[in-house]
Each structure stands twice: as structure tokens, then as C-alpha cells.
Amino acid sequence: MNLRRWWPPRRWWLRRTLRFRITVVATGVALLCLLAFTLLAPQLIGYVQVNAVDRELAKAENVRVLDTAGNPLDGGPKPDLTAAEVRALKAGEPVLRIDGPSAHRWIGRVEFAPDGTPRLHVAGDTLVGYREANQLGTRWLAVAAVLVAGLVGIATWLAVRSSLRPVERMRVAAAELPRGQRLPVPAARDELQALAEALNALLARRDEATERLRRFTGDAAHELRSPVTSVRAQAEVAVAHPDPDFSIEVLESVVEESERLSALVDALLILARADTGELPRAEPVDVVLQAQAAVDRLGETELLVQLAAPMSACLISAAGTEVELVLDNLLRNAARYARTFIRISVLPAVREVRLLVDDDGHGIPEEHRDKVFDRFYRVESDRGRATGGFGLGLALVAHLVRRRRGTIRAGESPEGGARLEVRWPLYR
């Protein structure tokens, strides 16, 4: 079990608003930085005080003259310096001694008398209220840190609130936007513009999916109505005329309509799965082997089926099941309308593989060649024929081919029938 996921503070934090979390983080970071600065305040304040005194002492005129042991040579009283402090001054190091609330500062340097004897010249002064100044400054800096952190929090809250207001307006507008309308895109090239463009693309896909579903549902209901009505009518006739011979004839018609209904439902399910947008992983598929397998699956038929393909493999980038569906639907479509034969040709090229399916049927009129790949579209002469399809096979073929960057078109076969040509990019 992931303990971090169920850790109560973590869950509480993730439930807070974005505005709250940003404000807390910004305020916390500002407060920590200011408190760290406050902890360094005594050193900083002391450095400023001592540095100011050192500058004054460097210009002082009341300099004491001592020997190297710290004894006065200028006739004045002996300075209050320890042996360690005298050694430090001889080494050129300043001395700071803190006595209660105040402090004493000494600086010194060694100079040589005319006779070559070393002399220690020192200057000192008292820093009155040194410790109290540090403590008072630290307390005021702590108070200032809290106040500044509070101001940072308020400013962050207002800034985030102001920055998120356009996002909130965009969210409300997107929720209330009617179908077909789009969000206004801000002119500034910033994150809001990118968000608006992404939402508009999402809305476009939603409208497209809704329209496709509406059209699909209406067409499916229209296509299902005919076989269902036919089955019901024939069943009512059989009930009304309980003649055994007539009932058998009616049952045969019912079986035939049921088979057509089952085939229609299967085609609708395949097309619905293809509409989900899930693209199977592409792999090298040999169109020659798939074409031969499709001819074998066609089974026994009175038609002459010819396969013209090279001996070498013709590989495309697709899924094997997709190519099977394409070939099966093309062959079934050709077998439905052919008179005597079907020819399948696989033609490799430099950058693509061409698949031609020709028949010697009545062909596809030129004005229908672009529309036969639309769903539920059938040439008018086919409607009502027992051998006519549902207008879904070629639509499924076009969908499977185009999503692999291929093309499909309908034309005229050299034998006068229909030619369906598929082009797939060559596998590389």
C-alpha cells in the first residue's frame, strides 16, 4: 500500500484549493527567509556598529603608546587590556570585549621609535548599549518578518485570485457554451491562450463525436427498422394462417431476415469499436499473404477468383486484424456484384503498396464513387435487393485504411465492373 497516498496531512493538503496552496507556500517561504535573516541580525547589527567604530578609531587623535608588554609609555594610566588582547593587537587584529550591556573596541598597530624600539599604538572606545541594540534590532526584525510575510500572503492571494479569474470565467463559459460555439481565444500568447485553444479543440471533438453518434444512431435505427418490421409481419401472417406448408415458407423468410439482421448488428459493432479511436500497435504485415488468406476464407463460389501478386513480401505498417477486415469486406463486396470473376492484384511501389480488387459486375456510377465510402450509403439501384449490403462494409474499409495514412478510391475495372483501389504506405 502506498502510505504517502493515504497520509492524512497529504490528503488534507490535496483537498485544498489551488489558490490556498499557492498562498500558503509563498507565505511560508517568505516567512522562513525573513526569519533566517532575523537570526543573522545580531551578527549583522554588531558588524555595522563595530565597523562604524573602527572607522572613527582609525581617525582618532587620542592614541595610546604602549610597549610590547602593554605598559604605557605616554604617561597615562595602564589600559584595561589582557595579555592575550595585547598579543592580538600586536598582530594587527582588532579586539572586541563585551562587558554587560556595552562593549569595548580596540585597534592597534606596531610602530618603531627612532632608536628602533617597537612601540604599540592603540586606540579604543566604548560601544554603549551594544547588546541591547542587538536584542532590540532582532525583536523588531522578527516583528517585521511576520508582518512582511503576512503582506506577501495577502498579495499572493490577491494575485492568484486575479490570475485565476479568467480561468474561472472560461470554465463557466465552457460549461454553458451551446453546441457549435467556441471560447474566445485571448490575444496574448500565454497559458490562457493555450488553454482556450485546447478547450476549443476538445469542444470540436465533442461536437464531432456527438454529431457522429446522432447520425450513426439515426442511420442504424433506420436500417434496423426494415428487417425487424419484416420479421414481425411474416410472424403475424404465420400466426394468422396456421397452414403447415405456408408456415415453413414463412419461417424460411424469417430465418433469412434474421441472418441479415445479425449481419447488420455485427457490422454495427465492428464499426462502433473502430470509432473508439483506439489504434492497435502497428507491425509489419505482408499484404500478399493476407490476400491469399482472404481468398481462402471466401470459400467455394461460382465465381472465378484470381490473385496476381509478386513472389516477394509486400510489407505495410498496420495491424493484422485490420488488413483482414479490409480484404474480407472488399472481397465480399466484389462477390456480391460480380457476374463471373474477381481479380485481386497486389502491386508494390517505391513508397507504397497498391491493392486492386476488380469485378465484372455492373460497376459503380461515377457520381456515386466518392459517396460509397460513407456510412449507410448505397447506390439507389441496390436498395431493396436481397443481395444488397447495408452500406457499412466500404465505410469500415475506408476508416481502417485512412487511419493508417492510406487512401482508398473507387473506379472502373478494365472488365467494365467496379475497381476498388487501396494504397498503404510501405513499411520502413
Q: How many CB atoms lie within 10 A of CB 153?
A: 17
Euclidean distance between CA atoms 254 and 258, whole angstroms? 6
Q: How far is CA 206 from the centre of its chain?
A: 18
How much is the pLDDT for 21? 83
pLDDT score for 383:
39
Question: 275-308 in b/e burial notation, b at 16+ Cβ within 10 A?
Answer: eeeeeeeeeebbbbebbbbbbeebeeeebebeee
- Cα 325 to its chain centre, rounded Å, is 33
Nearest to 220 by CA among 266, 277, 274, 276: 266
* pLDDT reported for residue 384: 40
Question: For the chain (length 428 residues), average pLDDT per consecutive 10?
Answer: 58 75 86 82 75 79 83 84 86 83 84 86 81 78 85 87 78 75 74 80 79 70 70 76 73 74 69 66 92 88 91 91 88 90 93 94 90 76 48 82 92 92 92
CB proximity list for 35: less than 8 A, separation 6 or greater = 142, 145
Per-residue pLDDT at 288: 95
Instruction: Name 65's bridge partners.
Output: 121
Q: What is the dihedral of CA 111, 113, 119, 121, to 10 degrees?
A: -60
Q: Tell me if 306 sits within 8 A of 343, measured CB to CB.
A: yes
Cβ 420 vs Cβ 333: under 8 Å: yes
Cβ neighbours of 171 (radius 10 Å): 14
d(CA 411, CA 282): 29
Count how many Cα atoms sit within 13 Å of the Cα of residue 159 in the half-sphere of its side chain. Answer: 10
Q: Do residues 289 and 296 lie in contact, with contact meaning Cβ atoms separated by under 8 Å?
A: no
Helices H, strands E: what count in the chain? 11, 11
Looking at residue 49, what is its pLDDT?
74
Specify the pLDDT at position 274: 64
- Render 348-371 in DSSP notation, one character per residue: E-SSEEEEEEEE-SS---GGGTTT
Helix, strand, coil % (nearest 5) of the chain? 55, 15, 30
Q: How far apart are CA 226 and CA 219, in angstroms?
A: 12
